[in-house]
């Protein structure tokens, strides 16, 4: 199924927002027993590291790639390249494995998942913002 180029940004928005919301929800559900200033700071640190080092760059890279496409319509899964899909699969498998195995203590789940989920959710929202900008620009050209 082919979609318009800008729709790829919307799909990225929906996928990353859904993933971020779910991981953030898991972290926040585990958080009540671990509400301390140190844990809040650690969650903020996890958020900052993932946002600055990974997801912020990923949003810029994929937005630039998508907006540079010359053709108007593309296969709907082209919102990411193969590397991004591998990263997503590894993160999902690792996260599920970590929780199911019981290797990670509940405090770790609370702190890490809250920071990671917030960073993922922000990445999704940034893709949404980029979709809005692209849609506005396209409507202005008409």
Does pTM surpass 0.85? yes
User: Tell me, what's the pLDDT at 41?
Assistant: 98
Q: What is the structure's pLDDT at 127?
A: 98
Tokens linked to 31: 């958080």
Question: What angle do the packed helices 106-141 and 82-101 form, to 10 degrees?
Answer: 150
Q: How much is the pLDDT for 113? A: 96
- pLDDT under 50 in the chain at which residues? none
pLDDT of 142 reads: 65
List CB contacts of 113: < 8 A, sequence separation 6 or more. 23, 24, 26, 27, 30, 95
- Token pair for 112: 């890490």
Distance between CA atoms of residues 31 and 51, nearest Å:
21
Please report the pLDDT score of residue 37 as a whole number.
97
What confidence score (pLDDT) does residue 59 get? 96
Domain boundaries, the chain: 2-141
pLDDT of residue 85: 85
């Amino acid at each position: 199924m082919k979609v318009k180029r800008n729709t790829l940004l919307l799909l990225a928005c929906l996928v990353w927002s859904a993933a971020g919301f779910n991981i953030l929800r898991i972290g926040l559900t585990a958080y009540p027993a671990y509400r301390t200033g140190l844990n809040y700071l650690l969650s903020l640190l996890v958020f900052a590291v993932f946002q600055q080092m990974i997801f912020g760059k990923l949003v810029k890279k994929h937005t630039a790639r998508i907006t540079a496409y010359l053709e108007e319509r593309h296969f709907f899964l082209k919102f990411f390249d193969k590397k991004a899909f591998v990263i997503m699969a590894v993160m999902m498998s690792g996260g599920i494995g970590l929780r199911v195995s019981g290797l990670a203590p509940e405090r770790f789940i609370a702190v890490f998942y809250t920071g990671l989920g917030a960073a993922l959710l922000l990445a999704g929202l940034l893709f949404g913002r980029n979709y809005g900008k692209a849609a506005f620009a396209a409507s202005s050209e008409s």
